[in-house]
Structure 1
């Protein structure tokens, strides 16, 4: 009863490591998700709102980002810049923004054609005012959804990099726990070393996605009621 999930080969309590590793794992996901959404939202909003040469330039940059393989590039960059916690999260975030930039652009293209947006421009409202007061508030459901997706994907990729040995092994996380369990060579016999962190990664990613999807659904219902 003192060790409900057993202990590791060195006598460390698995449950304690699981609880302690939750903070770094969630922090990695949230920070990575914020970076992904921030970059994608900025590029998508500017591209959709201004159009023309700005749109062409930003979309060509997005197309180029689509041609970059995520895992191999992340491994190379982490190996080059070092396995620091913040550098690893920053690298993951800067590689994953490409997916939501196009979606945000399409949303802006639809929203900016609404009558109240055109009325605000005719009354002399600045671009900054129109974007921050009229366009972005109408995109919050989509933003939260992609924040949840980015958080989940960041957790999965960081766990994968930790399993491959490209994350700082001295920062406790569920990915590092999986790596240690695999390195021990006893995953079959001592299943309690690997199954708990693996299950927590899966459940956390699922929970974050469901929260984001639920918020998007509620936000859509509120917008429809106002309309």
Structure 2
């Protein structure tokens, strides 16, 4: 059965273009133009992934994302024409799994959708603990495949190289962004928050990433 994608976008021509490309890739699609219609739609039918525009009538994408995360972990890709770092950060803090900036390539959107849905698939193994395949950009915890963005996976891999070792935010930023882009320390905090949420969905009885006040973060040993 094909995955169902909900497109929340008030630019009708763009939404139709995305729907055409997604349907050509064997997905089924649904389109909403008003942010306030999203939560009622999810209560009637939960999609496999949501493409969510930031600027919407009725209720903006940030508010919609926050509302969805109160009851669902459905993957969300934010679509935005506002490229300021703070907007990207806020989107990730609210629980978005990825973001794409306008003007966008429909082929890239399809590729991102496929990548996230692949990461959603449960691993066939029954093993316990944490496993990371950095080349394939895949990670598992207790046999469950984690739905991680590329940045989240690199962050988890950096922490997992030396379990128990405390990494400063600066050290982690150096590992995440090889192009030396200018980002704030709060970016790390946002990614850590999302990582914790996704890890706790599998193992909620244990805090796997610990904060060390005034220093940084460490991954628990013995995973």
TM-score range, shorter chain: under 0.3
Q: Relative to total residues, which structure has the larger strand share, 1 or 2?
A: 2
- TM-score normalised by structure 2 residue count: 0.25
Instruction: Look at both structures and tell me which one has the larger radius of gyration over its CA atoms.
Output: 1
Q: Relative to total residues, which structure has the larger helix share, 1 or 2?
A: 1
Which structure is higher in RCO with an 8 Å CA cutoff and minimum separation 6?
1
